[in-house]
Amino acid sequence: MTRGDGHLSHDLLPGEKNPQDACGVFGVYAPSEEVAKLTYFGLYALQHRGQESAGIATSDGRKILVFKDMGLVSQVFDEGALEALTGHIAIGHNRYSTTGASVWANAQPTLGPTSTGTVALGHNGNLTNVPDLLELLEERDSAGHRRLEGGVTDTTVLTALLGADDFSANLADAAMALLPRLRGAFSLVFMDENRLYAARDPQGVRPLVLGRLADGWVVASETAALDIVGATWEREVEPGEMITIDAEGVHSQHFATPDPKGCVFEYVYLARPDTSIAGRSVHASRVEMGRTLAREHPAEADLVIPVPESGTPAAVGYAQASGIPFGQGLTKNAYVGRTFIQPSQTLRQLGIRLKLNPLKEIIAGKRLVVVDDSIVRGNTQRAIVGMLREAGAAEVHVRISSPPIQWPCFYGIDFATRDELLAVDKTIEEVRTHIGADSLGHISTEGMINATEIARERLCTACFTGEYPIEPPVNARHLLATQPVEVP
């Protein structure tokens, strides 16, 4: 998965599936700006949050236009498409599917009718009570199921409910009636012909921020997207808050009492390093995780190298705290993007070498500390260790800047089921043997949390601890088990 900030995350081997982000969202209200182009660059900054599809909707006050397709932002849009998306309001979306198939019909923004016009919507997160919402849709709107664009996903159900007959004719009132009924993680941007809206779940699991332009406003998944379009950070959209942006400015309403539980994995891996969440720099958090890792799991070594690029800040921190020199022992192909061309059998056998290759003259004969952000199934780490040994490394000591992942996520990260997670029911020594390292060390949960400078009770650590702040879906109990569970 290639990340739009230059990040090359774990390179996939056959059968390997690494943590995937649920999506990135962006919205702008700016009467004197080319809002489609602003949205394009905002989505470009958020490309790391989803690479399956991209879309933009705009409004000129009379009608909403939508353009979306499969692929990266740079693949989906050209100058002609952006020129055709006229107006002063826009929302945009990058998608990685955690519910629904990876097909054009499920690309966002979704579009639906309301009693007074049209709603377009983009969603980052996962709802956990979709069956309840489908029942509500049936009750509220007998034609509701016919509104489900492309099939049933949490986003299409939301879009249909916002246009349901029994809700208020005013979209803001309809949203305020619907939002308290949602369970799970959601950072939403949506719009009608005249207004831009944004909303965040009461736990604030996924980030969402508000920025100011000279003549307008921007909402985005991350502060890095504000920077790229020249917007100044105003504040976060608060957990349990909906904001409405129109010609009069920004209006705030709360639909639930805030109970912050921000995703700690945003600090570990998901967010861009140049983003700030809850006032804390993601890059600074990752460097401190590396320092903590060095204190908790020292190693006798000659060189600290990262798995580029997601392991780089933590590797820098490890080198700083340990006094071991930092080096780039692995080089990446910066131009490997999402492709629909399947590799040949020979290329599949080469695995990660399509994206990563060792710098033999740097690592030959060296005792290495290799810093990465996480282990899911472990196939990638095993391949990297093997590749470094082939290149002449004397020793390979793997250090991971997050605790062992032992539980699936229901809030917008597409982790494997428990029986597919390498760390479940295995000791650190057993995992070390599996990946072939000379030693293995994970940061402690406490060390990871302290590096964020966020209070533990304000973070979601479910994928590491199994402590879920929001009740998981009833029909997902099989994902929590290491043995087959009958699902009703």
- In angstroms, the CA 458 to CA 113 distance is 37
Annotated active-site residue 409? The verdict is no
- In angstroms, the CA 220 to CA 207 distance is 8
- In angstroms, the CA 37 to CA 340 distance is 26
- In angstroms, the CA 356 to CA 332 distance is 5
Q: What is the distance in angstroms between the CA of the first residue and the CA of the last residue of the chain?
A: 35
The DSSP secondary-structure symbol of 63 reads: -
What ranges make up the beta strands (E) of 30-105?
53-59, 64-70, 89-95
Per the CB < 8 A criterion, the answer to whether 108 and 95 are in contact is yes
Q: In what order do the strands lie in the sheet with 209-213?
A: 64-70, 53-59, 89-95, 23-29, 216-220, 209-213, 232-236
- In angstroms, the CA 324 to CA 367 distance is 11
The DSSP secondary-structure symbol of 248 reads: T
- In angstroms, the CA 76 to CA 53 distance is 8
**Which residues make Cβ contacts (< 8 Å) with residue 79, sequence separation at least 6?**
none
Per the CB < 8 A criterion, the answer to whether 89 and 34 are in contact is no
Classified as helix, coil or strand, 263 is strand
- In angstroms, the CA 461 to CA 469 distance is 9
Question: Which one is catalytic: 23, 409, 460, 463?
Answer: 23
Classified as helix, coil or strand, 347 is helix
Q: Do you know the residue count of the chain?
A: 488
Torsion over CA: 252, 255, 257, 261 (sign): negative
Active site residues: 23
